[in-house]
């Protein structure tokens, strides 16, 4: 018995030693890659060169490399997008997912916000779901739509209720009738008043963009295609207790 126990401990110790050595090797490789990257940056003549250097650095995935790329998310255009894309390749990684969704919240540039939300979803890290659903009400419709699309990428049952609620909210936005009145009973609000017309147009745009996005997201998560909101709600009531996250 003692000999058998000793053999097991020796095997475990050898495995731990091998793992430790492998981690040391990867750590050294990461340091070398970062040093090479910094050398490239010194010779960079513009954003295109910096973006290329980031893409090269991102080929080697390691926590140190991820940390090195984070500051570039503060840049707009090619550089910020390149950093976001490389970070998005850290699948199911908490640091990557939270970093990208945080960058989306911090950025003042519309295009970068949309890209950061998209790449945050690409990480497939489910822990960012609540932050994505809060972006459903982003003032920029493109950003809200990207948040819906990214929810689909997470493929989690926890996204279904927020998506259904958003669909219901969109259903509540009434289309204008031919007479110039809308179904809310607010007479000529959208026809005669500049501010009212602008608000109505924004709401209708939001509805037309987000409703199909929600339908697509629900299909990706559930595998079901719903003809309308009522059908989706009926299905969810019947299946909510047993539905599991897709593999």
pLDDT value of position 225: 95
pLDDT value of position 191: 41
- Contact present, 196 and 190 (Cβ < 8 Å): yes
- Contact present, 17 and 37 (Cβ < 8 Å): no
Which regions in the chain score pLDDT beneath 50? Answer: 17, 178-179, 184-193
Angle at alpha carbon of residue 17, lines to 13 and 18, rounded to 5°:
120
pLDDT value of position 190: 40
pLDDT value of position 198: 79
pLDDT value of position 194: 54
Round to whole Å and give the CA distance between 147 and 136. 6
pLDDT value of position 24: 85
If one counts every other C-beta atom within 10 angstroms of the C-beta of residue 70, the result is: 16
| pTM, rounded to two decimals | 0.83
- Contact present, 53 and 44 (Cβ < 8 Å): yes
Tokens of 194: 């500049």
pLDDT value of position 201: 87
pLDDT value of position 175: 77
Tokens of 22: 């492998």
Residue 182, SS3? Answer: strand
């Amino acid at each position: 018995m003692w000999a058998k126990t000793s053999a097991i401990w020796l095997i475990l110790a050898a495995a731990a030693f091998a793992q430790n050595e492998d981690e040391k090797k990867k750590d050294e490789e990461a340091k070398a890659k970062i040093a090479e990257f910094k050398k490239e940056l010194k010779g960079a003549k513009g954003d295109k060169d910096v973006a290329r250097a980031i893409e090269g650095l991102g080929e080697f995935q390691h926590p140190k490399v991820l940390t090195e790329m984070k500051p570039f998310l503060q840049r707009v255009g090619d550089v910020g997008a390149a950093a976001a894309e490389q970070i998005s390749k850290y699948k199911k990684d908490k640091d990557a997912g939270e970093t990208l969704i945080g960058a989306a919240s911090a950025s003042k540039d519309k295009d970068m916000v949309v890209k950061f939300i998209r790449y945050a979803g690409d990480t497939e890290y489910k822990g960012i779901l609540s932050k994505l659903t809060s972006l459903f009400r982003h003032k920029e419709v493109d950003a809200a739509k990207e948040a819906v699309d990214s929810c689909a990428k997470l493929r989690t049952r926890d996204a279904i209720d927020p998506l259904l609620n958003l669909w219901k909210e969109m259903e509540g936005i009434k289309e204008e009738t031919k007479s110039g009145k809308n179904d809310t009973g607010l007479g000529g609000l959208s026809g005669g008043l500049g501010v009212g017309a602008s608000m109505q147009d924004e709401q209708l745009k939001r509805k037309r963009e987000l409703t199909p996005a929600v339908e697509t997201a629900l299909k990706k998560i559930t595998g079901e295609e719903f003809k309308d909101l009522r059908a989706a709600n009926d299905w969810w009531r019947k299946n909510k207790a047993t539905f599991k996250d897709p593999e």
